[in-house]
Copies of this chain bind each other. A is one copy, B any other.
Amino acid sequence: MKHKIQQPHVVIIGAGFGGLRAAKALADAAVQVTLIDRYNYHLFQPLLYQVATAGLSADEIAYPVRGILQKQKNLNFRLAEVSRVNLEKKKIITNQGEFSYDHLILAVGSETNFFGNQTLAQNSFSLKNLTDAEKIRSHILYQFEKAAMEKDLEKRKNLYRFVIVGGGPTGVEMAGAISELIRLVLKKDFPNLNTEEVEVILVEAIDRLLPHLDKSLSTAAMHALQKKGVQVQFGKVVESYDGEVVRFQGGEKLPAATLIWAAGVHAANLVDHLGVEQASLKQARVLPTLQIPDYPDVFLIGDAAYVEDKEGKPLPMVAPVAMQQAEHAVSNLKAMLNGEPLEPFEYKDLGSMATIGRNQAVAQLGRFRFRGFLAWLIWLFVHLMQLVGFRNRMVVLLNWAWEYISYDRAVRLLKSTPCESEER
């Protein structure tokens, strides 16, 4: 598809945090860049749970890639879904034809990990893209519409039981936001709603939430969730879910019309076909320089790459790692083009955080730990500043301010008709 060009042709697959950062870092390089993604927008994943709980609209956390990179003269964007990469022939096979490359940066990210459980893959909700988030929003709202017409108490309680599996940031943020949506907003929409009938249950297999943070913050997060009406249950492993009843290891059953699966991700399926040794979450084991073994022209970064820190612990699959790796891969690529030696990647951990509803969060920044309202303000500031584009920032800020002042959620639209929203 590409004309012969003088400058080296660098292809980047994926316009997530890693791919986008790599594209920008190549702006001043003497190369031609093609950025490929199956969507035409960059998704700000950390706020996806807000779309799922009617706090923000989909459009507020997604920004057109062409808009972001409009001024970058050495870059072309291509909307295409990549099915395979042929490392030998340096070809990328997509639904829009083949692309060839001189250098490749793979930033293909991760997918929801159902650990091979088909009942979960089919009947639970996950939260990886905009469609997922809008499906969860419609589904939650539809349960309340159905329950408003349901006379049988047991059936009503099953409609009102929301099970979230996974005590990581996504699970914690979803549980807090769902509970607030119900208790602060839907309570007003449904005057006859008895919130005693509603249960938001966060289930975690191990004995604490947010295991990547300090234990004191895990406990703080648990208390904050409980205060917001979330039941936190530890040591429970889901065995199956048929859309009506959750079955746990050990035999316990829990009827629930909603199960949200936030128990983990694995590297994108594309990695399976690279022929590279993979770690437990399917990530490719890359060299310390972030190159793929035997293919020095191919860099692999972000969630799909397996890299260990100095203590031999794998780096987390989070945006800051992907962005630092993007900068590093591009710097190594430039060194290669200049015939200079490549450097090994080192991750600078700047901290992590999770929010719990409209005024609580926990944050660990270097040696500092924050909780409560102060942590929430830090979370708010950090995320708002990272949103792409002035307009998005303004609209999101306005939305948040409005929501905060009025206890209202603006975007509680049930877009699909009842029958459609039953499909998952």
Contact = CB atoms under 8 A, between A and B. Distances in A.
A59 B410 contact: yes
Given A391-B402, A399-B395, A70 B189 contact: yes
A81 to B, nearest CB: 6
B414 A39 contact: yes
B149 A1 contact: yes
B145 A79 contact: yes
A97 interface: yes
A93 interface: no
A411 interface: yes
Contacts of A66: 189-190
B415 A131 contact: yes
Contacts of A39: 414, 417
Interface residues of A, number: 53
A335 interface: no
B62 A130 contact: no
A42 to B, nearest CB: 10
A220 to B, nearest CB: 32
Nearest to A130: B415
Contacts of A314: none
A118 interface: no
Interface in A30-75: 38-41, 57-60, 62, 64, 66-67, 70, 73
A189 B414 contact: no
A413 interface: yes
A392 interface: yes
Interface in A385-424: 389, 391-392, 394-395, 398-399, 402, 406, 408, 410-415, 417-419
Given A411-B59, A418-B79, A395 B392 contact: no
A413 B41 contact: yes
B131 A412 contact: no
A212 interface: no
A98 B97 CA distance: 53
A149 B62 contact: no
Contacts of A73: 191
Contact of A59 (B59, B78, B149): B59
A41 B414 contact: yes
18 contacts: A39-B414, A40-B145, A57-B58, A58-B415, A59-B410, A73-B191, A78-B149, A79-B145, A80-B149, A80-B418, A95-B418, A95-B419, A130-B413, A130-B415, A391-B399, A391-B402, A391-B406, A392-B410
Given A40-B414, A62-B413, A130-B415, 4 more contacts: A41-B414, A59-B59, A67-B412, A394-B402
7 closest cross-chain pairs (CB), A and B: A66-B189, A57-B59, A79-B145, A40-B414, A59-B411, A391-B402, A64-B412
Interface of A: 1, 38-41, 57-60, 62, 64, 66-67, 70, 73, 78-81, 95-97, 130-131, 141-142, 145-146, 148-149, 188-191, 389, 391-392, 394-395, 398-399, 402, 406, 408, 410-415, 417-419
